[in-house]
Chains A and B, each alone.
Chain A
């Protein structure tokens, strides 16, 4: 492992401590791996920017009531201060019912993050087992699963999400369901492809010859080999899922207006363009920065993990 150019004593001590723990057992070895990956990540400025943005958004979501200057503005109206332009009092201005846009953008991180993460959790919990089974078992089961995913993949995910959410009532939960509906097949496809190539590796045969059963091989030998690619894909996809959620909101099919969802906010502000530009601009910027952050982090992780495959 290459040390950084100027090894500071603290880092070295940490490395030594990690090395020592490493001797104890395998869980510590895992931590060392994580540390190595982070070390590789550190070499790329852009991915650090991505990591910073993502961490910032997570912190903002967790501490929204403290970070927002007017926390009560999420669902209260102040007709005495409608359409205030950005200024010292209201950094991002106020909207058509006098709510502070900055506060609402900050609370919007909660909506967007929970949407992104939940969509990914649902998609993974459907797509991943199906992909593993399809890839490992082969035969008619695989054909059935993969043709099913083909049907879903034939429709653009956004169109599918629009269609489903148009049927359901516009709530956050239903947006999540609508987006997940077209999202899981991508994971089935990804995992199936990975499994197909990994299951031909010699270690899988060695494992079979040592008496492991198929479930064990699929979940404990093959799946861990897909993890790095999954982590990258998930990181990139959280950004896209957030974007899709915002599009649904913008088209009026997503979260209902009083909830501070970025897409919905941008849609409301659109009516007042270009004179009162701040409502649309700042909620749009929030979407932009968030998606950019996850993309940069995802790309950085890809580079960091690729090094491991050398």
Chain B
């Protein structure tokens, strides 16, 4: 359903050209739940902003690549067509629940506006005026909003509808945002680290709720997360991203059972376990995108780096059923 091929995005910054996305490939099938995992600053958010075409350009620049959604190239689409796509076909659950609602309107006002006008690019002021007297339409929109909130297990939806953002807890506004994302009956849901800003128990509830809704509506989901535990719980397949490159992709179970890329292995080792034992981190941090390391972008941090890692960029090679890795370690085996 969604196919991202060889997406390269550069940013023009003071220091020069930041090569943030360096040939990203993603595939999401109909009704498939996929996670894009990587540490902060690896380009996850840039990827989804590029998919929704809400990346500020400039400074961003798409150097190459295609984003195909149901056969249409999103990068070739006109702005007008995108407006009917965003929210209706591809919906985003924003990252920060506490700042992603407009503080000067009640939830109800924002939600009914969204339901009544979403997907319309140009609305003449005459129509806007006429529909402002459309009591039936307003009541229907309100009812739909209430239903959607109800489905998100929100206690007392009418109260939430007349609340302002400051009157809601983080968990509650996250639920509202998920309900709003589902309002347009999208086929693809992009969740940008949902619940990261919340405490663990609330996050767990939210994730369970989302999982239920996604299963019921048979949505395709792209989860953006730095939390492997969340990815394991929520998704069928995982892409591991490092410094703007996909380094490994595998079905979730397979990835946890047999991680191949040294970076993935490091990530898994750095998950704290209840059973104790030392938590291993990965030394160093994401490289500078202006003049990134040649060859494999991970090699300065890699314990198993070889001579060719510094020169040749590893390609994604199949290594098992639906399992691909971009690492020179596995090239000889094939």
Contacts of B100 in A (CB 8 A): 202-203, 205-206
Given A25, A208, A220, which contacts B86 in the complex, CB threshold below 8 Å? Answer: A208
**B23 contacts A by Cβ under 8 Å:** no
Contacts of A29 in B (CB 8 A): 106, 162
Interface stretch, picked from A49-57, A58-66, A75-83, A209-217, is A209-217
**B108 contacts A by Cβ under 8 Å:** yes
Contacts of B99 in A (CB 8 A): 201-203
Give residues 90-111 of B contacting A (CB, 8 Å): 91-92, 94-96, 99-106, 108-109
**A22 contacts B by Cβ under 8 Å:** yes
Expressed in whole angstroms, the Cα–Cα distance for A219 and B91 within the complex equals 23
- Decide: B87 and A23 in contact? CB cutoff 8 A: no
**B1 contacts A by Cβ under 8 Å:** no
Contacts of B92 in A (CB 8 A): 206, 209-210
Contacts of B102 in A (CB 8 A): 203, 207, 221, 224-225
Expressed in whole angstroms, the Cα–Cα distance for A209 and B189 within the complex equals 11
**A285 contacts B by Cβ under 8 Å:** no
**B319 contacts A by Cβ under 8 Å:** no
Expressed in whole angstroms, the Cα–Cα distance for A220 and B83 within the complex equals 16
Expressed in whole angstroms, the Cα–Cα distance for A207 and B111 within the complex equals 11
- Assuming the contacts A202-B99, A211-B118, asked whether A26 and B83 have C-beta atoms less than 8 A apart, the reply is no
Expressed in whole angstroms, the Cα–Cα distance for A203 and B100 within the complex equals 4
- Decide: B103 and A225 in contact? CB cutoff 8 A: yes
Q: Is the interface of A mostly helix, strand, loop or mixed?
A: helix
Give residues 156-181 of B contacting A (CB, 8 Å): 158, 162, 177, 180-181
Contacts of B84 in A (CB 8 A): 211
- Can you list the 5 inter-chain pairs with the closest CB atoms, starting with the nearest? A211-B86, A209-B92, A211-B87, A210-B87, A202-B99
Excluding A203-B103, A209-B87, A216-B117, 19 further A-B contacts by CB distance (< 8 Å) are: A203-B100, A203-B102, A205-B54, A206-B100, A209-B91, A209-B94, A210-B86, A210-B91, A210-B184, A211-B84, A211-B88, A211-B119, A212-B117, A213-B121, A213-B122, A220-B113, A224-B102, A224-B105, A225-B104
Interface set of A (CB-CB < 8 Å, partner B): 22-23, 25-26, 29, 201-203, 205-213, 216, 220-221, 224-225, 227
Q: Sample 27 A-B pairs with CB under 8 A, ordered by A number.
A: A22-B162, A25-B108, A26-B108, A29-B106, A202-B95, A202-B99, A202-B100, A203-B99, A205-B54, A205-B100, A206-B94, A206-B100, A207-B102, A208-B86, A209-B91, A210-B87, A211-B83, A211-B87, A211-B118, A211-B119, A212-B83, A213-B121, A213-B122, A224-B105, A225-B103, A225-B104, A227-B104
